[in-house]
């Protein structure tokens, strides 16, 4: 791992787009802005290897030497994200076939078939050359493999590799038929050769729903693995030549195509690119960061890219208001980032990203608002030194997240097109976030010990062993919560028959008989149960007097999207539906299980309902918020060497007041704070308890 004496600060640098005279000026401006780490050679292949047998490293040597002379370290790209046109001209087989079945021609990036032997051979050769060339260069800090791996390929190479992948997993075609439920429409396979790639022209219907979801699920696993194999191939070369240098590739947050939990095992330090879009809530970005931190079980990550002001690829590329770049940088640091980096350092003159914001804009100098803000933050990070670096973010609340569940849920034809995995996870996350509670995003394979509350919204697919693990968690005193449309499918997306929620039925103490689907704009109500609900059975009625009611008599919340209609099998009823043919039947249940509780929220209830549930659950476990904050103010905690740092972020364009019950030092201003503190619009405070804090600032 790299030893950091301060947070690296910088971003993507593309000197190859500029004459060398400009480079000296870049260095001057970088120094002025406090920039000390840049990503270079991310797309360098075509420049380094202009012909099959010709390598030209001169320009990159000069760039790295210049960086070194200016005290700037390199996040050094292997350059394999875009292959050179001569390679495409000679070997059409390395070009992808897209989902529509079209063979791609040369152009764009990430346009290689991950299973192409030609691509793999040439990409390894380049990686080997780059690594040999720069293994001892003092500027080399970390390897940046390829760039934002993405996209699937459906070509013949991939079809062959898919069949091999299936043979290894299933052994026989019969077992594939079994796993993919191909007796449906008698779509049986007789020979491995019968299996083709699942493009739009084969077995799909619509643009994402699959008639054989088990097959598509496997294809998604396989394509994620195939790209991962390309990364692993480069990583192995880099590790052989430079065993001490960390290796990474940059992630993209909620990127559906790649199972980042699986990838994370092969990555030394998670790096990722954060581009919130207009309309994204601060909670959504916070969960992004928490997910990226969660990939390696809470290990800090590097924020490798963010826009200093605006992007160019969104529908509306709104510049960040004054203060927002700083605010979002601290939000990342609060949630585990050990660096702040931008795309891009100098704005391109041409090409598709010429209108993307940059630290040095087209004006060519530092006399701009954006540059001044970047330089000011650079100064602050200089002063903070290693204060937060390596700090952890302890949490007692876990939130389950799984790419495979996401894939399976959204491959389902039915029950409603509006049911989206990220939306459902984010709703539950936001309920915790709004109360300034720290949450860890966890993969089902991770250890749940140490958590008091575990939420698993939209747990549609239950991988093998998970139900038992959740039972153990709950029996030991944990509070478990899941939501509607959970427990339906196994790891091949086959329904677990005998009654929903299948493997979760015992834990939750319920049986879901059917589900109502609410059209857009249609609502039902979640209300406090009556002593003897009209439509519940004798058994249900026996359980309608919980010890601590979740809802007060007369309290009611709207619900939308979907309403599971269920029977209790031991669970207590904490809320019932207010309307329709299932009025009075359970909408929210709690099953006492061992020492703990397992909750089921059978519908998409108003956020105020979830907020109430969260208050009750954290009270039960004695979990306190990081800080009580007003609306729009986020508070998060990072702990380093036993010292807790509280980062307070005002996401509003107006000022907000927070109450500090204990004296704190704000490390950004050096001020001692106590009582009511007014945060300016987009204001940030980095607080530490007054007695421990002051000495931390350099
Ligand atoms: C990504 C890429 C960069 C650049 C930016 C633009 O994050 O990694 O190369 O294209 O997007 O926002
Ligand atoms: Zn392919």
What average pLDDT does range 221-229 have in this prediction? 98
Residue tagged 């927002």 (tokens): 324
Higher pLDDT, 532 or 225: 225
Which ligand has its closest atom nearest to the C-alpha of 92? 2
C-alpha closest to that of 115 among 196, 218, 223, 221 = 223
Atom nearest to 147 CA in ligand 1: 8
Give tens-digit pLDDT for 341-364: 999 999 999 999 999 999 999 999
Spatial distance between the Cα atoms of 368 and 353, rounded to a whole number of angstroms: 20
What does the chain come to in residues? 698
**pLDDT for res 547:** 60
Cα of 214 from ligand 2 centre, angstroms: 20
Catalytic residue ranges: 148, 305
Question: Which ligand minimizes its atom distance to the CA of 148?
Answer: 1
pLDDT digits (tens, 9 = 90+) for 635-692: 999 999 999 999 999 999 999 999 999 999 999 999 999 999 999 999 999 999 987 7
Ligand nearest to the Cα of 355, by number: 1
Instruction: In whole angstroms, give the CA distance from residue 351 to residue 14.
Output: 13
Pocket flag, ligand 1, residue 255 (CB < 6 Å): no
CA of residue 227 to ligand 1 center, whole Å: 18
Which ligand is in closest contact with the Cα of 356?
1
Q: What is the pLDDT of residue 582?
A: 98
Name the closest-CA residue to atom 4, ligand 1: 343
447 vs 112: CA distance, rounded Å = 37
Cα–Cα separations (whole angstroms), residue 176 to 152, 181, 188, 464, 537:
21, 8, 9, 18, 42
The reported pTM is 0.96
102: DSSP letter: P
Is any atom of ligand 1 closer than 6 Å to the C-beta of 273?
A: yes
The CA-based angle 12-272-435, given to 5 degrees, is 130
Name the residue with tokens 């194999």: 229
Express each pLDDT in 118-149 by its tens digit: 999 999 999 999 999 999 999 999 999 999 99
Q: Which domains occur in the chain, in start order?
A: 397-621 (3.40.50.880), 633-693 (2.60.40.1180)
Contact 509, 591 (CB under 8 A): yes
Tell the residue number behind the tokens 């594939």, with chain if given: 176
Which atom of ligand 1 has the smallest separation from the CA of 275?
A: 12
Summarize the confidence of residues 422-431 as an average pLDDT: 98
- Please say whether the beta carbons of 75 and 141 come within 8 A: yes
Of 48, 43, 76, 5, the closest CA to residue 247 belongs to: 76
Confidence of residue 205 (pLDDT cuts 50, 70, 90): low
For the cut 70, the answer to whether the pLDDT of residue 696 exceeds it is no
Which residue has its alpha carbon closest to ligand 1 atom 5? 343
**Mean pLDDT across the chain:** 95
Mind listing the pLDDT tens digit for each residue in 78-119?
Answer: 999 999 999 999 999 999 999 999 999 999 998 999 999 999
Count other Cβ atoms within 10 Å, centred on residue 108: 11
- Residue 681 near residue 326 (C-beta atoms within 8 A): no
pLDDT tens digits, 364-399: 999 999 999 999 999 999 999 999 999 999 999 999
Q: What does the alpha-carbon distance between residue 505 and residue 510 come to, in Å, rounded to a whole number? A: 6
CA of 217 to the centre of ligand 2 (A): 17
Q: Does the CB atom of residue 485 touch ligand 1 within 6 A?
A: no
3-state secondary structure of 402: coil
CA angle 356, 360, 363 (to 5 degrees): 90
Instruction: Encode pLDDT of 586-606 as tens digits.
Output: 999 999 999 999 999 999 999
Q: Whose CA is nearest to atom 7 of ligand 1?
A: 273
Distance 181 CA to ligand 2 centre (A): 25
Cβ–ligand 1 contact at 540 (below 6 Å): no
Q: What is the pLDDT of residue 203?
A: 67
CB of 148 shorter than 6 A to ligand 1 = yes
Contact residues for 470 (Cβ-Cβ < 8 A; gap 6+): 448, 454, 456, 480, 504, 507, 598
Question: Cα separation of 628 and 631, whole Å?
Answer: 10
Q: Backbone phi, then psi, for 691, in 5-degree steps? A: -70, -35
Torsion of CA 654, 659, 664, 667, to 10 degrees: -10
Cis peptide leading into 139, omega within 30 of 0? no
Q: Is residue 473 lining ligand 1, measured as CB closer than 6 Å?
A: no
**Calpha distance 531→553 (Å, rounded):** 10
Of all helices (H) and strands (E), which one includes residue 462? none
Q: What is the pLDDT of residues 472-517, one digit of tens each?
A: 999 999 999 999 999 999 999 999 999 999 999 999 999 999 999 9
Q: What is the pLDDT of residue 544?
A: 44
Q: In what order do the strands lie in the sheet with 656-666?
A: 633-640, 643-650, 684-689, 656-666, 672-679
Sheet strands (E) in 397-464: 397-400, 439-442, 453-456
Task: Using the predicted structure, report yes or no on whether residue 541 has a pLDDT greater than 60.
Answer: no
Residue 204 binned pLDDT confidence (cut-offs 50, 70, 90): low
For residue 523, pLDDT over 90 is answered with yes
Among 311, 348, 353, which residue has the most ligand 1 atoms within 8 Å of its CB, making it the best to mutate?
A: 353
Instruction: Give percent of the chain with pLDDT exceeding 70.
Output: 96
Ligand 1 test: best mutation among 79, 305, 317, 359, most atoms within 8 Å of CB? 305
What pLDDT, on a 0 to 100 scale, did the predictor assign at position 201? 78
- How does residue 426 score in pLDDT terms, banded at 50, 70 and 90? very high
Distance 343 CA to ligand 1 centre (A): 6
Burial class (CB in 10 A: 0-12, 13-18, 19+), 229: middle
Summarize pLDDT for 51-60 with one digit per residue, the tens.
999 999 999 9
How far apart are the two ends of the chain, measured CA to CA in Å?
A: 24
Centroid of ligand 2 to alpha carbon of 159 (angstroms): 7
CA-nearest residue, atom 10 of ligand 1? 353
Question: How far, in Å, is the centroid of ligand 1 from the Cα of 423?
Answer: 24
pLDDT at 694: 46
Q: Whose CA is nearest to atom 12 of ligand 1?
A: 311
Contact 65, 100 (CB under 8 A): no
Predicted pLDDT of residue 584: 97
Mean pLDDT check: name the lowest of 194-203, 282-291, 426-435, 568-577: 194-203
Cβ of 309 closer than 6 Å to ligand 1, yes or no, is no
d(CA 98, CA 113): 10
Name the band, by pLDDT with cuts 50, 70 and 90, for residue 534. very low
584 and 534 Cβ atoms separated by less than 8 Å:
yes
Q: Residue written as tokens 């979760």?
A: 504
Distance CA 17, CA 15 (A): 5
């Amino acid at each position: 791992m790299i030893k950091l004496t301060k947070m690296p600060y910088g971003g993507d640098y593309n000197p190859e787009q500029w004459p060398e005279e400009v480079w000296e000026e870049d260095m001057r401006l970088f120094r002025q802005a406090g920039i000390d780490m840049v990503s270079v050679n991310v797309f360098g292949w075509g420049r380094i290897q202009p012909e099959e047998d010709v390598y030209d490293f001169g320009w990159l040597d000069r760039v790295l030497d210049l960086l070194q002379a200016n005290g700037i370290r390199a996040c050094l790209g292997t350059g394999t994200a875009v292959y050179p046109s001569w390679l495409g001209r000679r070997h059409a087989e390395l070009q992808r076939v897209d989902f529509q079945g079209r063979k791609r021609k040369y152009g764009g990036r990430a346009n290689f078939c991950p299973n192409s032997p030609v691509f793999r051979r040439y990409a390894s050769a380049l990686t080997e050359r780059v690594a040999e060339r720069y293994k001892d260069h003092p500027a080399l800090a970390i390897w940046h493999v390829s760039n934002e791996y993405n996209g699937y390929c459906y070509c013949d190479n991939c079809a062959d590799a898919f069949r091999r992948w299936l043979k290894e997993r299933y052994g026989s075609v019969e077992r594939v038929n079994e796993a993919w439920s191909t007796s449906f429409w008698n779509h049986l396979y007789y020979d491995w050769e019968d299996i083709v790639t699942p493009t739009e022209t084969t077995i799909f219907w619509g643009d994402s729903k699959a008639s054989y979801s088990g097959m598509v699920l496997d294809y998604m696993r396989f394509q994620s693995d195939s790209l991962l194999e390309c990364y692993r191939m480069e990583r192995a070369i880099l590790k052989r030549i430079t065993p001490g240098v960390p290796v990474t590739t940059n992630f993209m947050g909620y990127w559906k195509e790649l199972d980042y939990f699986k990838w994370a095992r092969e990555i030394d330090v998670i790096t990722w690119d954060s581009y919130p879009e207009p309309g994204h809530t601060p909670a959504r970005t916070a969960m992004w960061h928490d997910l990226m931190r969660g990939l390696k079980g809470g290990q800090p990550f590097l924020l490798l890219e963010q826009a200093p002001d605006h992007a160019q690829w969104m529908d509306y590329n709104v510049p960040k208001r004054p203060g927002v770049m700083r605010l979002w940088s601290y939000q990342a640091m609060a949630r585990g980032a050990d660096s702040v980096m931008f795309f891009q350092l100098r704005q391109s003159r041409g090409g598709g990203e010429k209108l993307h914001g940059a630290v040095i804009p087209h004006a060519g100098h530092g006399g701009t608002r954006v540059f001044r803000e970047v330089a000011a933050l650079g100064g602050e990070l200089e002063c903070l030194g290693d204060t937060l670096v390596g700090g952890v973010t302890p949490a007692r609340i876990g939130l389950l997240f799984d790419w495979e569940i996401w894939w399976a849920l959204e491959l389902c034809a039915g029950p409603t097109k509006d049911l989206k995995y990220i939306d459902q996870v984010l709703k539950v996350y936001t309920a915790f976030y709004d109360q300034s509670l720290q949450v860890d995003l966890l993969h089902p394979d991770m250890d749940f010990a140490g958590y008091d509350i575990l939420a698993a919204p939209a747990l549609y697919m239950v991988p093998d062993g998970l139900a038992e693990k959740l039972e153990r968690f709950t029996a030991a005193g944990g509070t478990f919560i899941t939501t509607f449309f959970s427990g339906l499918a196994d790891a091949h997306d086959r329904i677990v028959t005998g009654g929903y929620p299948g493997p979760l039925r015992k834990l939750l103490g319920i049986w879901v008989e059917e589900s109502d689907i609410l059209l857009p704009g249609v609502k039902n109500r979640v209300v406090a149960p009556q002593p003897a609900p009209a439509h519940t059975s004798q058994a249900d009625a026996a359980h309608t007097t919980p010890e601590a009611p979740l809802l007060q008599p007369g309290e009611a919340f709207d619900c939308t999207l979907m309403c599971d209609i269920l029977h209790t099998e031991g669970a207590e009823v904490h809320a019932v539906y207010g309307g329709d043919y299932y009025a009075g039947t359970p909408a929210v249940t709690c099953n006492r299980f061992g020492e703990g509780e397992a909750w089921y929220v059978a519908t998409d209830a108003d956020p105020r309902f979830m907020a109430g549930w969260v208050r009750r659950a954290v009270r039960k476990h004695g979990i306190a918020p990081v800080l009580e904050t007003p609306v729009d103010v986020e508070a998060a905690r990072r702990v380093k060497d036993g010292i807790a740092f509280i980062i307070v972020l005002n996401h509003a364009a107006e000022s907000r007041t927070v109450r500090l019950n204990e004296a704190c030092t704000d490390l950004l201003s050096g001020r001692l704070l106590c009582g009511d503190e007014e945060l300016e619009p987009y204001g940030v405070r980095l607080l530490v308890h007054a007695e421990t804090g002051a000495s931390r600032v350099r």
